[in-house]
Chains A and B, each alone.
Chain A
Amino acid sequence: MFETKVNQMKKISILFILLSVILLNACYTEEGKDYEGKVMGYKPIYSSYETIRKVSLTDARPIRQSGKIYVKDGYLYVVEPNAGIHVINNFDQKNPKAERFINIPGNIDMAIKGHIIYADNGLDLVAIDISDPKSIKILKRIEGVLPYPKYPPYENVKFECPDSTKGYVVSWEFVELENPKCYR
Protein backbone atom coordinates (compact mmCIF):
# COMPACT_ATOMS: atom_id res chain seq x y z
CA MET A 1 0.00 0.00 0.00
CA PHE A 2 2.72 2.45 1.07
CA GLU A 3 4.95 1.37 -1.79
CA THR A 4 2.29 2.02 -4.38
CA LYS A 5 1.84 5.53 -3.02
CA VAL A 6 5.59 6.10 -3.31
CA ASN A 7 5.44 4.72 -6.81
CA GLN A 8 2.57 7.02 -7.61
CA MET A 9 4.50 9.97 -6.21
CA LYS A 10 7.50 8.91 -8.26
CA LYS A 11 5.42 8.67 -11.37
CA ILE A 12 3.89 12.10 -10.78
CA SER A 13 7.35 13.58 -10.13
CA ILE A 14 8.72 12.07 -13.31
CA LEU A 15 5.72 13.33 -15.22
CA PHE A 16 6.20 16.78 -13.68
CA ILE A 17 9.89 16.80 -14.60
CA LEU A 18 9.10 15.62 -18.11
CA LEU A 19 6.43 18.29 -18.50
CA SER A 20 8.82 20.97 -17.22
CA VAL A 21 11.47 19.84 -19.66
CA ILE A 22 8.95 19.97 -22.52
CA LEU A 23 7.69 23.39 -21.46
CA LEU A 24 11.19 24.75 -20.92
CA ASN A 25 12.17 23.34 -24.26
CA ALA A 26 9.18 25.06 -25.86
CA CYS A 27 10.24 28.34 -24.27
CA TYR A 28 13.74 27.83 -25.51
CA THR A 29 12.66 27.27 -29.12
CA GLU A 30 10.26 30.17 -28.93
CA GLU A 31 12.90 32.63 -27.80
CA GLY A 32 16.20 31.19 -28.88
CA LYS A 33 15.32 29.68 -32.27
CA ASP A 34 18.86 28.32 -32.21
CA TYR A 35 18.20 24.72 -32.89
CA GLU A 36 14.98 23.16 -34.07
CA GLY A 37 16.36 19.92 -35.42
CA LYS A 38 14.74 18.25 -38.39
CA VAL A 39 11.62 19.97 -39.71
CA MET A 40 9.77 20.12 -43.00
CA GLY A 41 10.51 23.18 -45.04
CA TYR A 42 11.54 24.60 -48.38
CA LYS A 43 14.94 24.05 -49.92
CA PRO A 44 16.13 26.21 -52.84
CA ILE A 45 16.91 24.47 -56.14
CA TYR A 46 19.69 26.31 -57.90
CA SER A 47 20.57 26.76 -61.52
CA SER A 48 23.77 28.29 -62.81
CA TYR A 49 23.61 31.89 -64.01
CA GLU A 50 24.53 30.70 -67.53
CA THR A 51 21.67 28.18 -67.69
CA ILE A 52 19.22 30.81 -66.45
CA ARG A 53 20.07 33.06 -69.37
CA LYS A 54 19.02 30.49 -71.99
CA VAL A 55 15.81 31.93 -73.44
CA SER A 56 14.17 29.95 -76.25
CA LEU A 57 10.95 29.40 -78.17
CA THR A 58 9.22 26.02 -77.97
CA ASP A 59 5.88 24.47 -78.96
CA ALA A 60 2.83 25.15 -76.84
CA ARG A 61 2.58 22.97 -73.78
CA PRO A 62 0.09 22.58 -70.90
CA ILE A 63 0.10 25.27 -68.21
CA ARG A 64 1.29 23.84 -64.92
CA GLN A 65 0.79 26.97 -62.85
CA SER A 66 -0.67 30.33 -63.79
CA GLY A 67 1.05 33.49 -62.64
CA LYS A 68 0.80 36.99 -64.08
CA ILE A 69 -1.41 37.53 -67.13
CA TYR A 70 -1.21 40.13 -69.88
CA VAL A 71 -3.41 40.90 -72.90
CA LYS A 72 -2.57 42.64 -76.14
CA ASP A 73 -4.12 42.63 -79.62
CA GLY A 74 -6.15 39.45 -79.28
CA TYR A 75 -3.37 37.54 -77.57
CA LEU A 76 -3.27 36.35 -73.99
CA TYR A 77 0.11 35.88 -72.30
CA VAL A 78 0.26 33.69 -69.22
CA VAL A 79 3.39 33.58 -67.10
CA GLU A 80 4.20 30.21 -65.61
CA PRO A 81 6.30 31.34 -62.62
CA ASN A 82 10.02 30.68 -63.05
CA ALA A 83 9.46 28.92 -66.39
CA GLY A 84 8.32 31.35 -69.06
CA ILE A 85 5.40 32.73 -71.03
CA HIS A 86 2.54 30.83 -72.70
CA VAL A 87 1.40 32.65 -75.84
CA ILE A 88 -2.31 32.06 -76.46
CA ASN A 89 -4.27 33.12 -79.52
CA ASN A 90 -7.36 34.60 -77.86
CA PHE A 91 -9.12 36.33 -80.77
CA ASP A 92 -12.03 33.98 -80.09
CA GLN A 93 -12.40 33.97 -76.31
CA LYS A 94 -14.71 30.97 -76.58
CA ASN A 95 -11.94 28.99 -78.17
CA PRO A 96 -8.48 30.14 -77.05
CA LYS A 97 -5.57 28.34 -78.73
CA ALA A 98 -2.16 27.89 -77.15
CA GLU A 99 0.37 28.68 -79.87
CA ARG A 100 3.83 28.85 -78.38
CA PHE A 101 5.82 28.84 -75.19
CA ILE A 102 8.69 31.22 -74.56
CA ASN A 103 11.06 29.47 -72.23
CA ILE A 104 12.40 32.12 -69.80
CA PRO A 105 13.94 30.66 -66.63
CA GLY A 106 13.33 32.78 -63.54
CA ASN A 107 10.48 34.68 -65.17
CA ILE A 108 7.73 36.19 -63.01
CA ASP A 109 6.41 39.27 -64.76
CA MET A 110 6.17 40.91 -68.18
CA ALA A 111 4.83 43.81 -70.25
CA ILE A 112 4.59 44.46 -74.00
CA LYS A 113 5.03 47.50 -76.20
CA GLY A 114 4.45 47.04 -79.92
CA HIS A 115 5.93 43.61 -80.63
CA ILE A 116 8.54 43.68 -77.88
CA ILE A 117 8.13 41.71 -74.64
CA TYR A 118 9.97 42.99 -71.57
CA ALA A 119 10.43 40.18 -69.07
CA ASP A 120 12.47 39.43 -66.01
CA ASN A 121 14.93 36.61 -66.61
CA GLY A 122 16.48 35.91 -63.24
CA LEU A 123 18.41 39.02 -62.26
CA ASP A 124 18.19 40.49 -65.76
CA LEU A 125 15.60 42.35 -67.79
CA VAL A 126 15.33 41.12 -71.38
CA ALA A 127 13.69 42.71 -74.42
CA ILE A 128 12.39 40.00 -76.77
CA ASP A 129 11.17 40.58 -80.33
CA ILE A 130 8.09 38.39 -80.91
CA SER A 131 7.05 39.70 -84.33
CA ASP A 132 8.01 36.41 -86.01
CA PRO A 133 5.81 33.55 -84.71
CA LYS A 134 8.49 31.01 -85.66
CA SER A 135 11.43 32.52 -83.83
CA ILE A 136 12.28 35.02 -81.15
CA LYS A 137 15.14 37.46 -80.94
CA ILE A 138 16.72 38.80 -77.74
CA LEU A 139 17.25 42.46 -78.60
CA LYS A 140 18.75 43.51 -75.31
CA ARG A 141 19.69 42.14 -71.92
CA ILE A 142 20.14 44.52 -68.99
CA GLU A 143 22.03 42.58 -66.36
CA GLY A 144 21.51 42.68 -62.62
CA VAL A 145 18.58 45.09 -62.40
CA LEU A 146 16.26 42.68 -60.59
CA PRO A 147 16.61 41.27 -57.09
CA TYR A 148 17.85 37.82 -56.09
CA PRO A 149 15.03 35.57 -54.74
CA LYS A 150 15.27 35.66 -50.98
CA TYR A 151 12.33 33.45 -50.02
CA PRO A 152 9.88 30.84 -51.38
CA PRO A 153 6.48 31.96 -52.71
CA TYR A 154 4.70 30.68 -49.63
CA GLU A 155 3.84 32.25 -46.31
CA ASN A 156 4.31 30.99 -42.78
CA VAL A 157 7.04 28.51 -43.75
CA LYS A 158 10.56 27.56 -42.72
CA PHE A 159 13.22 27.41 -45.40
CA GLU A 160 16.92 27.07 -46.08
CA CYS A 161 18.32 30.58 -46.61
CA PRO A 162 19.28 30.99 -50.30
CA ASP A 163 22.97 31.46 -51.12
CA SER A 164 23.62 33.56 -54.23
CA THR A 165 27.08 32.05 -54.72
CA LYS A 166 25.41 28.69 -55.50
CA GLY A 167 23.44 30.12 -58.44
CA TYR A 168 19.95 31.43 -59.08
CA VAL A 169 16.96 29.93 -57.23
CA VAL A 170 14.66 28.45 -59.92
CA SER A 171 12.30 26.57 -57.62
CA TRP A 172 11.80 25.25 -54.13
CA GLU A 173 11.28 21.70 -52.92
CA PHE A 174 9.41 20.74 -49.77
CA VAL A 175 11.73 18.42 -47.88
CA GLU A 176 13.02 17.61 -44.41
CA LEU A 177 15.54 20.26 -43.43
CA GLU A 178 18.21 20.20 -40.74
CA ASN A 179 17.69 23.27 -38.55
CA PRO A 180 16.67 25.83 -41.21
CA LYS A 181 17.66 29.38 -40.31
CA CYS A 182 15.08 31.26 -42.39
CA TYR A 183 11.39 31.79 -41.78
CA ARG A 184 8.70 33.72 -43.54
Chain B
Amino acid sequence: MKKLILLWIACSAVACKGDFSFKGESNTPTAGTGGSLARFTITNDYLYIVNSNNLKSFNISNPTDPIPSGEVKINAFAETIFPFKNHLLVGTRTGMYIFGLSTPSKPNQVSVYQHFASCDPVVAAGDYAYVTLRKGTPCTRGQNQLDVLNIAQLASPQFLVSYPMLNPHGLGVTAKYLFLCEGASGFKIFDRTNPADLKMIDFKYDIKSFDVIPLEESLIITGEDGIYQYGFDQKGNFELYSKIPVSK
Protein backbone atom coordinates (compact mmCIF):
# COMPACT_ATOMS: atom_id res chain seq x y z
CA MET B 1 0.00 0.00 0.00
CA LYS B 2 2.82 2.34 0.97
CA LYS B 3 4.49 1.57 -2.36
CA LEU B 4 1.28 2.32 -4.21
CA ILE B 5 0.93 5.68 -2.51
CA LEU B 6 4.55 6.51 -3.29
CA LEU B 7 4.00 5.49 -6.91
CA TRP B 8 0.90 7.66 -7.06
CA ILE B 9 2.82 10.65 -5.70
CA ALA B 10 5.66 10.05 -8.16
CA CYS B 11 3.20 9.81 -11.06
CA SER B 12 1.41 12.98 -10.03
CA ALA B 13 4.73 14.80 -9.84
CA VAL B 14 5.65 13.70 -13.36
CA ALA B 15 2.21 14.59 -14.68
CA CYS B 16 2.54 17.99 -13.05
CA LYS B 17 5.90 18.58 -14.70
CA GLY B 18 4.42 17.65 -18.08
CA ASP B 19 1.45 19.96 -17.63
CA PHE B 20 3.66 22.80 -16.60
CA SER B 21 5.95 22.71 -19.66
CA PHE B 22 2.94 22.25 -21.87
CA LYS B 23 1.21 25.33 -20.54
CA GLY B 24 4.41 27.28 -21.02
CA GLU B 25 4.51 26.57 -24.72
CA SER B 26 0.86 26.81 -25.61
CA ASN B 27 0.98 30.56 -26.18
CA THR B 28 3.94 30.66 -28.53
CA PRO B 29 4.67 27.17 -29.81
CA THR B 30 8.38 26.53 -30.17
CA ALA B 31 10.33 24.03 -32.26
CA GLY B 32 12.76 21.41 -30.99
CA THR B 33 16.27 20.47 -32.08
CA GLY B 34 17.38 17.81 -34.52
CA GLY B 35 20.72 16.19 -35.29
CA SER B 36 23.16 17.31 -37.99
CA LEU B 37 21.91 14.66 -40.42
CA ALA B 38 18.37 16.09 -40.42
CA ARG B 39 16.57 16.79 -43.67
CA PHE B 40 13.72 18.53 -41.81
CA THR B 41 14.09 21.79 -39.91
CA ILE B 42 11.84 24.49 -38.50
CA THR B 43 12.67 28.19 -38.32
CA ASN B 44 10.08 30.73 -37.30
CA ASP B 45 6.86 29.93 -39.13
CA TYR B 46 8.28 27.54 -41.71
CA LEU B 47 9.15 23.89 -42.01
CA TYR B 48 11.92 23.23 -44.55
CA ILE B 49 12.64 19.85 -46.13
CA VAL B 50 15.56 19.01 -48.42
CA ASN B 51 15.40 16.10 -50.81
CA SER B 52 17.98 15.41 -53.52
CA ASN B 53 17.67 18.50 -55.73
CA ASN B 54 15.04 20.56 -53.99
CA LEU B 55 14.28 22.56 -50.89
CA LYS B 56 10.59 22.71 -50.00
CA SER B 57 8.95 25.09 -47.58
CA PHE B 58 5.69 24.69 -45.63
CA ASN B 59 3.99 27.55 -43.85
CA ILE B 60 3.23 26.44 -40.28
CA SER B 61 2.18 29.78 -38.78
CA ASN B 62 -0.87 27.77 -37.83
CA PRO B 63 0.94 24.60 -36.65
CA THR B 64 -2.16 22.45 -37.04
CA ASP B 65 -2.50 23.35 -40.70
CA PRO B 66 0.81 23.16 -42.62
CA ILE B 67 0.52 24.63 -46.11
CA PRO B 68 3.01 23.96 -48.96
CA SER B 69 4.42 27.38 -49.74
CA GLY B 70 7.28 26.97 -52.19
CA GLU B 71 10.04 24.94 -53.72
CA VAL B 72 13.58 25.95 -54.67
CA LYS B 73 15.89 23.94 -56.91
CA ILE B 74 19.37 23.14 -55.61
CA ASN B 75 22.09 22.51 -58.13
CA ALA B 76 23.48 19.59 -56.10
CA PHE B 77 22.38 16.49 -54.19
CA ALA B 78 21.19 17.86 -50.85
CA GLU B 79 21.40 15.65 -47.77
CA THR B 80 21.22 17.81 -44.64
CA ILE B 81 19.83 21.15 -43.49
CA PHE B 82 20.92 23.33 -40.55
CA PRO B 83 19.22 26.61 -39.50
CA PHE B 84 21.65 29.41 -38.65
CA LYS B 85 21.21 33.18 -38.15
CA ASN B 86 18.08 33.41 -40.28
CA HIS B 87 19.78 31.34 -42.99
CA LEU B 88 19.80 27.68 -43.96
CA LEU B 89 23.06 25.79 -44.36
CA VAL B 90 22.47 22.90 -46.72
CA GLY B 91 24.97 20.03 -46.87
CA THR B 92 25.17 18.49 -50.33
CA ARG B 93 27.42 15.97 -52.03
CA THR B 94 29.36 18.76 -53.72
CA GLY B 95 29.51 21.45 -51.08
CA MET B 96 27.71 23.65 -48.60
CA TYR B 97 24.95 25.90 -49.92
CA ILE B 98 23.79 28.91 -47.92
CA PHE B 99 20.24 30.19 -48.38
CA GLY B 100 18.85 33.46 -47.07
CA LEU B 101 15.34 33.69 -45.62
CA SER B 102 14.37 37.27 -46.40
CA THR B 103 11.42 35.70 -48.23
CA PRO B 104 10.87 32.68 -45.95
CA SER B 105 8.68 30.77 -48.40
CA LYS B 106 11.33 31.04 -51.15
CA PRO B 107 14.84 30.81 -49.71
CA ASN B 108 17.41 32.53 -51.94
CA GLN B 109 20.89 31.11 -52.48
CA VAL B 110 23.46 33.58 -51.15
CA SER B 111 26.63 31.53 -51.49
CA VAL B 112 28.15 28.11 -51.98
CA TYR B 113 31.34 26.52 -50.71
CA GLN B 114 32.32 23.79 -53.12
CA HIS B 115 34.66 20.88 -52.58
CA PHE B 116 35.46 17.56 -54.16
CA ALA B 117 32.47 15.27 -54.24
CA SER B 118 31.84 13.97 -50.73
CA CYS B 119 28.97 13.30 -48.38
CA ASP B 120 28.70 16.04 -45.85
CA PRO B 121 26.59 17.38 -43.04
CA VAL B 122 27.31 20.88 -41.77
CA VAL B 123 26.86 22.68 -38.42
CA ALA B 124 27.79 26.20 -37.36
CA ALA B 125 28.30 28.38 -34.31
CA GLY B 126 29.51 31.96 -34.00
CA ASP B 127 31.58 32.85 -37.05
CA TYR B 128 32.43 29.29 -38.02
CA ALA B 129 30.95 26.42 -39.98
CA TYR B 130 32.14 22.82 -39.66
CA VAL B 131 31.68 20.49 -42.60
CA THR B 132 32.55 16.80 -42.63
CA LEU B 133 33.49 15.11 -45.86
CA ARG B 134 33.15 11.36 -46.02
CA LYS B 135 34.35 8.91 -48.58
CA GLY B 136 31.56 6.71 -49.83
CA THR B 137 30.38 5.20 -53.04
CA PRO B 138 27.99 7.93 -54.22
CA CYS B 139 30.92 10.27 -53.68
CA THR B 140 33.90 8.23 -54.81
CA ARG B 141 36.36 11.06 -55.24
CA GLY B 142 35.84 12.21 -51.69
CA GLN B 143 38.19 12.19 -48.79
CA ASN B 144 37.63 11.77 -45.07
CA GLN B 145 38.10 15.13 -43.46
CA LEU B 146 36.68 18.00 -41.45
CA ASP B 147 36.72 21.46 -43.05
CA VAL B 148 36.46 24.59 -40.94
CA LEU B 149 35.12 27.70 -42.67
CA ASN B 150 34.84 31.28 -41.58
CA ILE B 151 31.26 32.35 -42.29
CA ALA B 152 31.28 35.75 -40.58
CA GLN B 153 30.17 36.93 -44.03
CA LEU B 154 27.51 34.39 -45.01
CA ALA B 155 27.67 35.64 -48.60
CA SER B 156 31.33 34.65 -48.90
CA PRO B 157 32.42 31.65 -46.78
CA GLN B 158 36.20 31.46 -46.41
CA PHE B 159 38.06 28.16 -46.08
CA LEU B 160 40.15 28.19 -42.91
CA VAL B 161 41.66 24.78 -42.28
CA SER B 162 40.98 21.10 -42.76
CA TYR B 163 41.73 18.12 -40.54
CA PRO B 164 42.03 14.50 -41.74
CA MET B 165 39.40 12.19 -40.23
CA LEU B 166 38.67 8.47 -40.36
CA ASN B 167 35.01 8.06 -41.31
CA PRO B 168 33.13 11.21 -40.29
CA HIS B 169 29.31 11.27 -40.14
CA GLY B 170 27.28 13.71 -38.02
CA LEU B 171 28.70 16.46 -35.85
CA GLY B 172 27.65 19.01 -33.27
CA VAL B 173 28.94 22.21 -31.65
CA THR B 174 28.62 24.05 -28.36
CA ALA B 175 30.33 27.32 -27.41
CA LYS B 176 33.42 25.38 -26.37
CA TYR B 177 33.31 21.92 -27.93
CA LEU B 178 33.05 20.27 -31.31
CA PHE B 179 31.74 16.71 -31.35
CA LEU B 180 32.38 14.45 -34.30
CA CYS B 181 30.90 11.02 -35.04
CA GLU B 182 33.47 8.79 -36.72
CA GLY B 183 31.05 5.99 -37.66
CA ALA B 184 32.45 2.57 -36.75
CA SER B 185 35.73 4.18 -35.67
CA GLY B 186 34.33 5.98 -32.63
CA PHE B 187 33.39 9.41 -31.28
CA LYS B 188 35.71 12.43 -30.99
CA ILE B 189 35.58 15.48 -28.74
CA PHE B 190 37.50 18.64 -29.63
CA ASP B 191 38.13 21.88 -27.80
CA ARG B 192 37.26 24.52 -30.41
CA THR B 193 38.37 27.59 -28.45
CA ASN B 194 40.54 28.33 -31.47
CA PRO B 195 38.73 26.88 -34.52
CA ALA B 196 41.90 27.21 -36.60
CA ASP B 197 43.66 24.93 -34.12
CA LEU B 198 41.24 22.30 -32.81
CA LYS B 199 42.49 20.24 -29.89
CA MET B 200 41.21 16.67 -29.57
CA ILE B 201 40.54 16.04 -25.89
CA ASP B 202 38.90 12.63 -26.13
CA PHE B 203 38.40 9.80 -28.60
CA LYS B 204 35.88 7.17 -27.51
CA TYR B 205 36.72 4.19 -29.69
CA ASP B 206 33.89 2.00 -28.38
CA ILE B 207 31.00 4.25 -29.48
CA LYS B 208 30.11 3.51 -33.09
CA SER B 209 28.48 6.87 -33.64
CA PHE B 210 26.34 8.33 -36.44
CA ASP B 211 24.92 11.59 -35.14
CA VAL B 212 24.86 13.81 -32.07
CA ILE B 213 22.69 16.46 -30.48
CA PRO B 214 24.61 18.66 -28.03
CA LEU B 215 22.46 20.26 -25.32
CA GLU B 216 23.70 22.82 -22.79
CA GLU B 217 25.58 20.39 -20.59
CA SER B 218 24.78 17.03 -22.10
CA LEU B 219 25.01 15.05 -25.29
CA ILE B 220 22.78 12.58 -27.09
CA ILE B 221 24.68 10.31 -29.46
CA THR B 222 23.14 7.75 -31.81
CA GLY B 223 25.18 4.70 -32.53
CA GLU B 224 24.94 1.31 -34.08
CA ASP B 225 24.24 -0.49 -30.81
CA GLY B 226 22.65 2.22 -28.69
CA ILE B 227 21.76 5.78 -27.91
CA TYR B 228 24.34 7.19 -25.50
CA GLN B 229 23.86 10.20 -23.24
CA TYR B 230 26.73 12.03 -21.59
CA GLY B 231 26.89 14.89 -19.17
CA PHE B 232 29.81 17.32 -19.39
CA ASP B 233 31.25 20.47 -17.85
CA GLN B 234 33.45 23.24 -19.24
CA LYS B 235 36.59 21.67 -17.79
CA GLY B 236 36.47 18.73 -20.15
CA ASN B 237 34.92 16.18 -17.80
CA PHE B 238 32.53 13.77 -19.49
CA GLU B 239 30.31 11.30 -17.64
CA LEU B 240 28.21 8.54 -19.20
CA TYR B 241 24.60 9.07 -18.08
CA SER B 242 22.82 6.23 -19.85
CA LYS B 243 22.61 3.96 -22.85
CA ILE B 244 19.35 3.00 -24.55
CA PRO B 245 20.02 -0.31 -26.30
CA VAL B 246 19.45 -0.65 -30.03
CA SER B 247 19.38 -4.15 -31.49
CA LYS B 248 17.74 -6.07 -34.28
Contacts and interface: CB of A to CB of B under 8 A. Distances in A.
Contact of B29 (A65, A96, A113, A156): A113
Contacts of B166: none
A149 to B, nearest CB: 11
A77 B218 CA distance: 16
Contact of B40 (A93, A109, A116, A147): A109
Interface in A58-105: 62-74, 76-78, 88-91, 93-96, 98
Interface stretch (B84-92, B106-114, B150-158, B238-246): B238-246
B68 A145 contact: yes
Interface string B193-237: 000000000000000001101010010101100110101000000
Interface stretch (A2-10, A22-30, A36-44, A124-132): A124-132
A184 B49 CA distance: 24
Interface-central residue, B33, B39, B40, B68, by most chain A CB under 10 Å: B40
A49 interface: no
Nearest to B24: A73
A184 B63 CA distance: 38
Nearest to B218: A93
B82 to A, nearest CB: 13
B229 A116 contact: no
Contacts of A63: 227, 244-247
Interface string B9-52: 00000100100011001100111111101111110000101011
Contacts of B49: 109, 120, 125, 145-146
A108 B223 CA distance: 16
Nearest to A80: B246
Contact of B52 (A62, A95, A147): A147
B25 A78 contact: no
Contacts of B35: 68-70
B30 A113 contact: yes
A112 interface: yes
A112 B64 contact: no
Q: Report the interface size class on chain B.
A: 35 or more
Contacts of A125: 49, 58, 66
B64 A140 contact: yes
B136 A112 contact: no
B29 A115 contact: yes
Contacts of A113: 29-31, 42, 47, 60, 63
Contacts of A70: 32-35, 38, 213
B36 to A, nearest CB: 10
Contacts of B64: 116, 127, 129, 139-140
Contact of B246 (A65, A96, A140, A155): A65
B102 interface: no
Contacts of B42: 111-113, 118
A20 B34 CA distance: 56
A112 to B, nearest CB: 5
Contacts of B25: 73, 114-115
A88 B29 contact: no
Contact of B21 (A69, A74, A109, A139): A74
A18 B62 CA distance: 71
Interface of A: 62-74, 76-78, 88-91, 93-96, 98, 108-116, 118, 120, 125, 127, 129, 131, 139-140, 142, 145-147, 155-156, 184
> Which 9 A-B pairs give the minimum distances between C-beta atoms?
A114-B29, A72-B32, A155-B137, A156-B137, A111-B40, A116-B63, A66-B222, A109-B40, A94-B241
20 contacts: A64-B246, A68-B35, A69-B34, A70-B34, A76-B220, A76-B227, A89-B14, A91-B14, A91-B17, A93-B218, A94-B229, A96-B244, A109-B38, A109-B40, A111-B34, A113-B29, A113-B60, A118-B42, A127-B64, A146-B49
